Amino acid sequence: MDPELQIKLVTKQAEHAVPDTVFSVPGAFTVKNLNSLVNSLIKANSEDYKEEEFDFLLFGELLRLSLSEHVEAKKETTENVLEIEYFLKYPAPSPENSLIHDDWVSGVNATEKWILSGCYDSTVHIWSVDGEHTLTIPGHTAPVKSVAWLNHDNSSSSFISTSHDETAMLWQWNQSTNAVDCIHVCKGHARSVDCVAVNPATNRFATGSYDQMLKIWSADDESENAGGDDDKKRFKSDSLKTKVKTPLMTLSGHTDGVSGIQWTDTSEVSTCGLDCTLKIWDVELGGLKSQLNGSKAFLAISYSPISRLIVSGSSDRHVRLWDSRSKDGALVKSSFSSHNLWVTSVKWSPSDEYQFISGSMDSLVKLWDTRSPKAPLFDISGHEDKVLSVDWSSKDLIVSGGADNHVKLYKFKGKTEEAMES
């Protein structure tokens, strides 16, 4: 016979609080049973209460098994009262729009108002978040691999695109005239430039390439080789002529293509590569700080400044959670297995320390919570071919680009403001 367990239900969402009581429930209780219990308790104190759906957290992990199975899996004891935290279940991301391109979309990056997309037909596109196409930008001579906003205000914005043509391009966009200029062509890589990351604090950006190199660049308007102030003024005003930019620093160490890149501090960059390594670099001193070894080729990484953790996507179909600062040697904190094919892109939520998304060649985008490694919160379908790029830079908007020539936009309502404040 299934043993009875002693549980106590707690929440940080005050409007959904239940009496501070210890309940005896069967070990076979599931999320469904706990939902019925919480809803009936709230309803008893509120006549006009509308039933809600909750998620439950026990021993730091979201409940996906029965209580007994969960306790057993976590190797915990049932002798004490089990404190179960509950909160409103997140609603599923809702499809908002589909932006059609002429070829594969391999790079996406959003702000609160605008979306950049990079396409295999060598063009870059600017869209409004409402799905209105604003600009098609030719310039590259081969497929665009990645795009990133550098800075943006109400009148002008700048951004970077990287390409198979071995260059990164730095662009200035005047929003009032809807005109765009290529300010700099960044030359130095000897193969396809596959990834880019921006550091707004220092106005620098980093690129990774199939040539195995990591390069650091200045995003300043002036040429790095400008002499005195007069020269600098001349370079600034002479924006009609595109100037070639050279890197501030080149770092070698990867033995295969660099596939992902992230700033993890103002003077620290993390890269991942097809050589199955994840490397952390000091870009002030110009050296390798540490290296984490995987078993298969890495295809993407994302760093969260909130949790200070890295997620990676690999060719073995898994997403992994890394703590590069771990002192106990347990660098991989969790592994997330649900995709059927290569994981091509990952991105942390900009506002939630537990949530991130992954995109895969299996045509799916998945939304994960680090407290639920066994299953994603949601499978986000919509693409009809492999997903090549995902982005979650704008809090309420999940963006993905794929080999079906589409950019998909999904609205996601995360934490409620009340829940964040309490």
Residues 6+ apart with CB under 8 A from 68: 2, 3, 5, 27, 28, 78
75 and 207 both lie in a single domain? no
Pairwise CA distance, residues 329 & 322, whole Å:
11
In 182-243, alpha helices (H): 229-237
236 and 361 both lie in a single domain? yes
Q: What is the pLDDT of residue 422?
A: 36
348 and 264 both lie in a single domain? yes
User: DSSP code of 18?
Assistant: -
125 and 163 both lie in a single domain? yes
40 and 108 both lie in a single domain? no
98 and 132 both lie in a single domain? yes
Given 39, 68, 88, which residue is the final one in a domain? Answer: 88
Given 88, 119, 147, which residue is the final one in a domain? Answer: 88
367 and 412 both lie in a single domain? yes
76 and 111 both lie in a single domain? no
**Residue 60 CA, distance from chain mean position:** 22
- Are the beta carbons of 258 and 208 closer than 8 angstroms? yes
Q: What is the pLDDT of residue 24?
A: 96
What is the pLDDT tens value at each position of the chain, 422 positions in all? Answer: 568 999 999 999 999 999 999 999 999 999 999 999 999 999 988 878 899 999 999 999 999 999 999 999 999 988 889 999 999 999 999 999 999 999 999 999 999 999 999 999 999 999 999 999 999 999 999 999 999 999 887 788 999 999 999 999 999 999 999 999 999 999 999 999 999 999 989 999 999 999 999 999 999 875 444 333 443 333 343 444 578 999 999 999 999 999 999 999 999 999 999 999 999 999 999 999 999 999 999 999 999 999 999 999 999 999 999 998 776 666 888 999 999 999 999 999 999 999 999 999 999 999 999 999 989 999 999 999 999 999 999 999 999 999 999 999 999 987 644 344 43
pTM above 0.75, yes or no: yes
8 and 151 both lie in a single domain? no
57 and 200 both lie in a single domain? no
Query: Domain containing 174 — which CATH number?
Result: 2.130.10.10
The 3-state secondary structure of 88-155, one letter per residue: ECCCCCEEEEEEECCCCEEEEEECCCEEEEEECCCCEEEEECCCCEEEEECCCCCCEEEEEEEEECCC
Range of the domain at 415: 94-421
Count of domains for the chain: 2
Given 88, 112, 130, which residue is the final one in a domain? Answer: 88
Q: What is the pLDDT of residue 331?
A: 83
Pairwise CA distance, residues 139 & 228, whole Å:
31
**Rounded to the nearest 5°, which phi and psi values hold at 186?**
-95, 110
Tokens of 199: 């550091």
Query: Domain containing 45 — which CATH number?
Result: 3.10.20.90
Strands 4-10 and 82-88: parallel
| Region label for 28, one of left (φ > 0), alpha (ψ between -120 and 50) or beta (otherwise) | alpha
172 and 286 both lie in a single domain? yes
Beta strand residue intervals within 231-364, DSSP E: 243-245, 249-252, 258-265, 268-273, 277-282, 287-293, 298-304, 309-314, 318-322, 332-337, 343-348, 355-360
66 and 134 both lie in a single domain? no
